[in-house]
């Protein structure tokens, strides 16, 4: 596959004609050859976005809605292509790729529904014969930096919500998934959005920092949203602060699933397997910690292991569909093996799976994990999860909150009042009672606390993220002033 940059409604090579390759993480076969953007290309994209904003901001809500609904239809029509490309670039199963397309279409449709819901309000005023109100207005060009793991849906939300609010977008895709992100851009193009409203860039890892620097500092860019690691998100936040630019950051996670002593164990096991191993555990809300009451831990672990061992393993590009495919990079295996060895050396028990070989790793479960082990709170982002045994409700809450992250979580228990009490006590942006940590609906706000970042995607929360709030008054000509 070969892809280019998309600037001002044209697919172009990079300004220096350079390309980079995305290789298969196991056999090193070239999957995609992509145009390798330069700083010159990035600045051009920002300038084009600023020019397009002058007219796009005045496009009526009905037309914005029509266009975004069209994008959703186009995306769904290309589902087979997304499944093919995501398997090649990021090892996605047909299940995960299909979910991404479905969720992406939902995002564009939810964004479309917001077109007429961007509202201000009237404000009581003490000034006679005066009308006081607030307005929501577009911000300007938005820089959207998107990762590879939720390849389609994370791109969709970074594009759709700024657009429906009247902004234009410079979309910086991931070097791990250039063809998938180009395909999303193609969907927007085919829907008929005006030139310059969406501009797409991609670049090799060595060029990405300078491109991000150039775009963050560019006077044309007004706000930034970034989904990715906490380390990089922190850097982006610091650079944006130097230019007084607001950020929306959705960063790392270490999502716990609390299993109380009165939980439906079979139901909890199903949620644990799904949340831990969908897309090889490479989802920001993957279940990376099972906090299980010691009274039921042995039964839970036995059933968890039994169900996990039945998961199909393979490479979607070779064997067809499977649940556990290759990780995105051999570096993932090396990193996870370091966490694995540290935990084993300190007393953790391997009850399922084992170490990674490059990008290939079986579904793995470690039991008896303790707080002195690195894997206790370091994000794994792979097909491995841990069981932490606890004594009662209070300790379960303490362990769940003993994390630098705060994205998603779940609580299983038959006593709903008790489960709700636990859910209200844990410090996470998303809490699901008797449900998996891996959940997303376009109409519900999504984001986290602590080192997971700040701001919210999805639902009405995005109106605040991608508009400016203006106070406006209409007053009589003749007024009394003190001088």
What are the residue ranges spanned by the domains of the chain? Answer: 2-252, 256-433
For residue 358, give the 3-state DSSP assignment.
coil
The per-residue pLDDT for 12 is 98
Q: Could you give phi then psi for residue 216, rounded to 5 degrees? A: -60, -40
Could you tell me whether strands 131-138 and 467-474 are parallel, antiparallel, or unpaired per DSSP bridges?
antiparallel
Residue 348 exposed, middle or buried by CB count within 10 Å (0-12, 13-18, 19+): buried
250 is a catalytic site residue: yes
pLDDT of residue 119: 95
2-252: which CATH architecture?
3-Layer(aba) Sandwich (3.40)
Averaged pLDDT score across all residues of the chain: 97
Separation between Cα atoms, residue 384 and residue 290, nearest integer Å: 11
The reported pLDDT for the residue numbered 321 is: 79
User: Does pLDDT of 319 surpass 90?
Assistant: no
Q: Are 285 and 253 in contact (CB under 8 A)?
A: yes
Which run of H or E residues covers position 337? helix 330-345
According to DSSP, residue 296 is labeled T
Q: Provide the token pair at 73.
A: 């239809």
Q: How many CB atoms lie within 10 A of CB 462?
A: 27
Average pLDDT over residues 270-297: 98
Q: What is the pLDDT of residues 336-382, one digit of tens each?
A: 999 999 999 999 999 999 999 999 999 999 999 999 999 999 999 99
Res 222: pLDDT: 98
Tell me if residue 364 falls in helix, strand or coil. strand
Q: Is 28 left (phi over 0), alpha (psi -120 to 50) or beta?
A: left
Do residues 444 and 460 touch, judged by C-beta distance below 8 A?
no
Farthest CA pair distance, the chain: 83
Q: How far apart are CA 473 and CA 123, in angstroms?
A: 9
Is the distance from CB of 158 to CB of 170 less than 8 angstroms?
Answer: no
Question: Among 174, 82, 165, 154, which residue's Cα sits nearest to residue 117?
Answer: 165
Provide the token pair at 271.
């949620």
Reported as a single tens digit per residue, the pLDDT across 159-199 is 999 999 999 999 999 999 999 999 999 999 999 999 999 99
Cα–Cα distance between 429 and 407 in angstroms, integer? 5
- Per-residue pLDDT tens over the stretch 214-248: 999 999 999 999 999 999 999 999 999 999 999 99
pLDDT of residue 37: 98
Q: What's phi and psi for 138, nearest 5 deg?
A: -60, 155
pTM equals: 0.96
Spatial contact of 180 and 151, defined as CB atoms under 8 Å apart? yes
Sign of CA dihedral 414, 415, 420, 422: negative
Residue 286 is predicted with a pLDDT of 98
Q: How many CA atoms lie within 13 A of 282 on its CB side?
A: 26
Q: What number of CA atoms fall less than 13 Å from residue 286's CA on the CB side? A: 23
pLDDT for residue 289: 98
CATH architecture of 256-433: 3-Layer(aba) Sandwich (3.40)
- The pLDDT of residue 123: 97
Q: Could you tell me the two tokens for 478?
A: 């003749």
Residue 318: is its pLDDT beyond 90? Answer: no
pLDDT value of position 340: 98
**Cα 191 to Cα 200: distance, rounded to the nearest angstrom:** 16
| Distance of alpha carbon 271 from alpha carbon 93, whole angstroms | 19
Report the DSSP pairing between strands 131-138 and 121-123.
antiparallel
Q: What is the pLDDT of residue 317?
A: 87
Q: Which pLDDT score, from 0 to 100, does residue 320 have?
A: 76
pLDDT in tens, 51-79: 999 999 999 999 999 999 999 999 999 99
Q: Which residues contact 472 (CB under 8 A, 6 or more apart)?
A: 132, 133, 134, 135
Q: Are 450 and 404 in contact (CB under 8 A)?
A: yes
Query: Catalytic: which of 250, 288, 379, 393?
Result: 250
What's the length of the chain? Answer: 483
Query: For residue 450, what is the DSSP state?
Result: G
**Is the CB of residue 466 less than 8 Å from the CB of residue 167?**
yes
């Amino acid at each position: 596959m070969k892809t280019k940059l998309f600037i001002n409604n044209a697919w172009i090579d990079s300004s220096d004609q350079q390309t980079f390759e995305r290789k298969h993480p196991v056999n090193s076969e070239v999957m995609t050859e992509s145009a390798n953007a330069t700083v010159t290309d990035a600045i051009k994209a920002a300038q084009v976005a600023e020019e397009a904003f002058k007219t796009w901001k005045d496009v009526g809500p009905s037309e914005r809605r029509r266009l975004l609904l069209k994008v959703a239809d186009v995306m769904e029509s290309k589902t087979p292509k997304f499944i093919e490309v995501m398997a090649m670039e990021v090892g996605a199963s047909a299940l995960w790729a299909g979910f991404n397309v479905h969720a992406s279409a939902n995002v564009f449709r939810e964004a479309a529904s917001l077109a007429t819901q961007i509202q201000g309000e009237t404000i009581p005023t003490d000034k006679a014969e005066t009308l006081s109100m607030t307005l929501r207005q577009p911000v300007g060009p938005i820089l959207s930096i998107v990762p590879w793991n939720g390849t389609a849906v994370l791109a969709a939300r970074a594009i759709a919500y700024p657009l429906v609010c009247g902004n234009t977008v410079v979309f910086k895709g991931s070097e791990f998934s250039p063809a998938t992100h180009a395909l999303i851009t193609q969907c927007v193009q085919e829907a008929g959005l005006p030139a310059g409203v969406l501009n797409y860039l991609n670049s090799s890892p060595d060029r990405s920092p300078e491109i991000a620097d150039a775009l963050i500092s560019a006077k044309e860019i007004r706000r930034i949203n970034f989904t990715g690691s906490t380390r990089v998100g922190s850097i982006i936040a610091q650079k944006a602060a130097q230019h007084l630019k607001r950020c929306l950051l959705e960063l790392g996670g270490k999502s716990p699933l609390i299993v109380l002593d009165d939980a439906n164990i079979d139901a909890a096991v199903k949620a644990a397997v799904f949340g831990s191993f969908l897309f090889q555990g490479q989802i920001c809300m993957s279940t990376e910690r099972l906090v299980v009451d010691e009274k039921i831990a042995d039964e839970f672990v036995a059933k968890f292991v039994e169900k996990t061992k039945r998961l199909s393993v393979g490479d979607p590009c070779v064997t067809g569909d499977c649940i556990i495919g290759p990780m995105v990079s051999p570096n993932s295996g090396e990193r996870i093996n370091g966490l694995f060895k540290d935990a084993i050396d300190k007393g953790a028990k391997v009850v399922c799976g084992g170490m990674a070989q490059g990008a290939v790793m079986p579904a793995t479960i470690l039991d008896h994990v303790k707080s002195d082990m690195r894997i206790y709170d370091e994000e794994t982002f792979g097909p491995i999860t841990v069981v932490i045994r606890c004594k009662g409700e209070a300790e379960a809450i303490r362990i769940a909150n003993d994390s630098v992250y705060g994205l998603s979580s779940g609580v299983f228990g038959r006593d709903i009042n008790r489960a709700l009490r636990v859910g209200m006590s844990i410090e996470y942006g998303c809490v699901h009672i008797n449900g998996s940590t891996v959940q997303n609906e376009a109409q519900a706000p999504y984001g986290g606390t602590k080192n997971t970042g700040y701001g919210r995607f999805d639902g009405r929360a995005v109106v605040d993220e991608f508009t400016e709030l203006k106070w406006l008054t209409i007053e009589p000509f003749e007024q009394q002033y003190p001088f």
